[in-house]
Amino acid sequence: MNTRTHCPYCALQCAMSIESGPDGAPTARPADFPTNRGGLCRKGWTSAELLHSPQRITRPLLRTDRSGAFAETDWDTALDHVAARLAAMRAEHGADSVAVFGSGGLTNEKSYLLGKFARLALGTSQIDYNGRFCMSSAAAAGNRAFGIDRGMPFPLPDLAAADTVLLAGANPAETMPPMMGHLTAPRLIVVDPRRSATAQYALDHGGLHLAPRPGTDAALALGLLHAARTADLLDTDYIAARTTGFDDAWRHAAAFWPEQTEQVTGVPAHRVREAAHLLGTAARAYVLTGRGSEQHATGTDTVSAWINLALALGLPGRDGAGYGCITGQGNGQGGREHGQKADQLPGYRKIDDPAARAHVADTWGVDPDELPGPGRSAFELLDSLGTGDGPGAMLLLGSNPAVSAPSAERVRNRLQSLDLLVTCDFVMSETAAMSDVVLPVAQWAEEEGTMTNLEGRLLRRRAVLDPPEGVRTDLQVLSALAVRLGQPAARFPDRPDAVLAELGRASAGGGADYAGVTPQRLDEGEELFWPVPGPEAGTPRMFLDSFAHPDGRARFAPVSHRGAAERPDADYPLYATTGRLMGHYQSGAQTRRIAELDAAEPRAYVEVHPDTGARAGLAEGDWARVVSRRGAALARIRHRSDARTDTVFLPFHFAGDQAANNLTNPALDPTSRMPEFKVSAVRLEPADTAPTAPTAPTAGG
């Protein structure tokens, strides 16, 4: 049996080995790999605990009455029940009455098979996934500028040779700690309304922290472009030779001279000039964006504004320079390529492109007319559930939207109104706890699969343990359901290698081409960055010769600053922004069940400037109600004297009445359909009660 695999959590996909601890229980240890170089964060170190947690679900759970308790059942009963209910729903209300919700945490094989399951076994167009909440704005802006979306078009270790790196809305010191080993550039510029751990690191190492008002990054990027041009720092040869559209883009930036930029963003004009100088005079510079810049109703244009800056300085497609978006979930990159998205077929193909439909239908052995068209985006899909228009049943893998979706109370009501909710999970997440059927699945270290990390690097997660008895893999569940829904078994293989081989064929010739990826090549340690169209080497650095648009040029986007969908006013005078802590992952479904992580941060808190707290009559440690137009979250006051006085910050890892998403605004970006997780207008009030919700529901309740 192998011992080496990769972490279950984020897109860095740190390598680890699973060893037998002193008590015989599996324990994770770091292993060497180019992204983590023998490091792990706290979540990685403790990740093996969930493999043998008493909170693990190991039997299918079923209930016929949503208000009643779950009963354990056998697999045949559970799968027969689910297939019969789905088939009945489809017969009565049509194929689109059944929805599928997937995840950027799923392996490439699962993502691919899930998309195929939706389109063929269910015939539904109603599939989307949680990556819509994560990567969609950066993906849309990357496609627009470069003609293809590979978040980081260069290997991470390239960053070590940089002179200047600008990080906009990313906090890797907490979200990807081993990545800090690559961020050794003498000048780090961190753009974050908060003095995040990464911003503090930059200040401690001779860099800059620019702290704009939440939702004003586009203005700051335009201002930096303005300042760089005024100081004659633009790469005019590159602009002429490798891009189109500069003049139109410049027309929007022309209004953002540094003093005007200060007005809109609050970043002092001299800091704007200083940052432009550091970036523009560096021989090797990178611009990187994270969710802080992207999770806005203007996220696509905001990322475009950052890319415009990078293009004007001549960075993308040059060795030792570039633009990249820092992908989030374990398979945030691969998960957005192989057909879980509402508008997509495998290989990053568009579902409304006749040639793409013909290629994929041919691989699947069906007529192109059998493939449904595009469906609804994640929030729109969740918001339509159980309404007259929307699906009445949903199958969900790898997400916990009862906690992580915007305006979560509204989403919980929609989930509650479904006729049938089926969740595949290994723990009783808040969403699983609302389901009719919970199917217990294997965890990362118990099954084989490939992932595509934040650099577009393919890697193989190996099974290092057997799953507990009674547990099946997601692929086995999808295959068994497909057969019960009348599909030929050969069309839904449940062996990961067979699915990968088919994925390779389906993606061949597409943007994200995996045709040449094989388990053998990965096992032999070959470094494969997509596209990998055949037996030749992959593509570690993209765009060195040309961009992926037909004319080979990158495109400036003519974008301006629009600002947040909701601004503070007399009733809701503060900005609330949300994000992550080092010790919890996402909705917390996994990490709140790990003793050490739960003990470190067991409850929600809200970071406030002491003066802001005092104005609301709140002191350090008090329980506050943070109230927006959507709802309220309970959180304990945590003072930060370095915080902006107009902005509070809440981590979104907690559930029930401590869920930050009770507040958040589902205003969607017009292009990417990304919700505005990073800006809500709120007020603070003393809470009259401490929270009531259990932080972690257990099996059965």
Ligand X SMILES: Nc1nc2c(c(=O)[nH]1)N[C@H]1C(S)=C(S)[C@@H](COP(=O)(O)OP(=O)(O)OC[C@H]3O[C@@H](n4cnc5c(=O)[nH]c(N)nc54)[C@H](O)[C@@H]3O)O[C@H]1N2
Token look-up 């979540």 returns 43
Element (H, E) at 571: none
**Residue 176 interacts with ligand X (CB under 6 A)?**
yes
User: Which among 235, 326, 344 is positioned nearest to 279, based on CA atoms?
Assistant: 235
Q: Nearest 10 degrees: CA dihedral of 537, 539, 545, 551? A: 110
Cα 241 to Cα 26: distance, rounded to the nearest angstrom: 55
* Site track 118-137 with Mo ion (rule: CB under 5 A), x = hit: ----------------x---
Instruction: Work out whether 406 is an interface residue with Mo ion (CB under 5 A).
Output: no
400 binds, among ligand X, Mo ion, ligand SF4, none (CB under 5 to 8 A by kind): ligand X
Q: Omega into 401 within 30° of 0, i.e. cis?
A: no
- φ, ψ of residue 606 to 5 degrees: the values are -130, 125
What are the structure tokens assigned to 409, written together? 């109370």
Q: What mask of x and - would describe binding to ligand SF4 in positions 499 to 518, judged by CB under 6 A?
A: --------------------
CB of 587 to ligand X, least distance (A): 3
The one segment of 4-12, 79-87, 97-105, 643-651 that binds ligand SF4 by CB under 6 A: 4-12
Beta bridge partners of 471: none
- Closest separation between CB of residue 298 and Mo ion, Å? 18
Residue 65 is encoded by which pair of tokens? Answer: 């009455």
Identity of the residue, 507 or 577, whose beta carbon is nearer to ligand X in the bound complex: 577
Nearer to Mo ion, 304 or 333 (CB): 333
Residue 176 binds ligand SF4 (CB under 6 A): yes
Could you say which DSSP state residue 212 is in? Answer: P
Contacts for 25 with CB less than 8 Å, ≥ 6 apart:
48, 49, 52
Instruction: Determine, following the binding rule CB under 6 A, whether residue 173 of this chain makes contact with ligand SF4.
Output: no
If binding is defined by CB under 6 A, does position 14 make contact with ligand SF4? yes
Q: Evaluate whether 657 touches 274 at the Cβ level (below 8 Å).
A: no
- Which helix (H) or strand (E) segment is 521 a member of? helix 519-523
| Residue 11 makes contact with Mo ion by CB under 5 A | no
Q: Which of 5, 12, 201, 691 binds ligand SF4 (CB under 6 A)?
A: 12
**Of 115, 142, 177, 328, the one binding Mo ion by CB under 5 A:** 328
Tokens representing 450 are: 């490939």
Q: Are the CB atoms for 31 and 464 separated by under 8 Å? A: no
Q: How far is the CB of 34 from ligand SF4 (least distance, A)?
A: 13
Applying the rule CB under 6 A, the residues between 627 and 686 that interact with ligand X are: 649, 652, 660-661, 664, 677-678
Select from 21-29, 98-106, 451-459, 610-618 the region that touches ligand X (CB under 6 A): 98-106
3-state SS class at 531? coil
Nearest-angstrom CA–CA distance, 627 and 681: 8
Please report whether residue 217 would count as binding ligand X according to CB under 6 A: yes
322-325, strands of its sheet edge to edge: 208-210, 187-191, 164-168, 285-289, 322-325
Amino acid at 296: H
Q: Which of 188-212 are b and which e, b meaning 16 or more Cβ less than 10 Å from the residue's Cβ?
A: bbbbbbbbbbbbebbeeeebbbbbb
149 touching ligand X, by CB under 6 A? no
Binder among 104, 147, 177, 314 for ligand SF4 (CB under 6 A)? 177
Instruction: Tell how far CA 478 is from the center of its chain.
Output: 23
Q: Cβ-closest residue to ligand SF4? A: 44
Cβ at position 12, least distance to ligand SF4 in Å: 4
Q: Does 139 bind Mo ion (CB under 5 A)?
A: no
Stretch that binds ligand SF4, among 36-44, 518-526, 661-669, 686-694 (CB under 6 A): 36-44
Closest CB 551 distance from ligand X, rounded Å: 32
Tell me 454's DSSP state.
T
Q: Does 330 bind Mo ion (CB under 5 A)?
A: no
Binding of residue 148 to ligand SF4 (CB under 6 A) = no
Partner from ligand SF4, Mo ion, ligand X, none binding residue 40, C-beta < 5-8 Å depending on class: ligand SF4
46 binds ligand SF4 (CB under 6 A): no
Element (H, E) at 692: none
SS3 assignment, position 327: coil
Number of residues that bind ligand X (CB under 6 A): 63
Cα–Cα distance between 435 and 65 in angstroms, integer?
Answer: 10
- Residue from 5, 261, 304, 578 touching ligand X (CB under 6 A): that is 578
End-to-end CA distance of the chain: 36
| Nearest distance, CB of residue 36 and ligand SF4, angstroms | 6
Give the interface with ligand X as residue ranges (CB under 6 A): 10, 103-106, 130, 133-134, 168-172, 174-176, 191-194, 196, 214-215, 217, 290-293, 295, 328-329, 397-401, 404, 424-427, 429, 441, 474, 577-582, 584-587, 589-590, 649, 652, 660-661, 664, 677-678
Q: Residue numbers of the site for Mo ion (CB under 5 A)?
A: 134, 328
